Chains A and B, each alone.
Chain A
Amino acid sequence: MKEFFLRYQRQIILDNFGITAQDKLSKAKVLVIGAGGLGCPILQYLVAAGVGNIGIVDHDTVSLNNLQRQILFGQQDIGKNKSITAVEKLKQLNDLVSATAFPEYCNQAFALEQFINYDIIVDATDNFASRYLINDACVLLQKPLVFGAVSKYEGQVAVFNVPGMEPMLSYRDLFPEPPSGDEVMSCADAGVLGVIPGIIGTIQATEVIKLITGIGDVLVNQLLTYHALYQRFYTIALTPHPKATHSAPSNVEEFMALNYQVVCS
Chain B
Amino acid sequence: MDIEILFFGQLTDISGCPSVKIENPGSTEAVKEWLCKQYPGLVGAKFVMALNNQLIVVPQKITEPSIIACMPPFSGG
From A37, A179, A236, A238, B73 is in contact (CB under 8 Å) with A179
* Size range of the chain B interface in the assembly: 20 to 34
Binds B, one of A87-95, A113-121, A149-157, A249-257: A149-157
Closest approach, in angstroms, between the C-beta of B66 and any C-beta of chain A? Answer: 13
Interface size, chain A (Cβ < 8 Å): 45
Q: Which of A124, A185, A227 contacts B77 (CB 8 A)?
A: A124
Interface residues of A in 134-182 (CB under 8 A from B): 148-152, 154-156, 173-175, 179
Does B73 contact A239, Cβ atoms closer than 8 Å? no
For the complex, is A216 an interface residue (Cβ under 8 Å from B)?
no
Q: Which residues of B contact A (CB under 8 A)?
A: 6, 8-10, 18, 44-46, 48, 50, 53-55, 57-58, 69, 71-77
The list of the 9 closest CB pairs from A to B, nearest first, reads: A187-B76, A126-B77, A149-B74, A236-B50, A151-B74, A179-B46, A150-B76, A38-B77, A183-B46
Which positions in A face B, CB cutoff 8 Å? 34, 36-39, 123-128, 131, 148-152, 154-156, 173-175, 179, 183-187, 190, 192, 197, 223, 225, 227, 230, 234-242
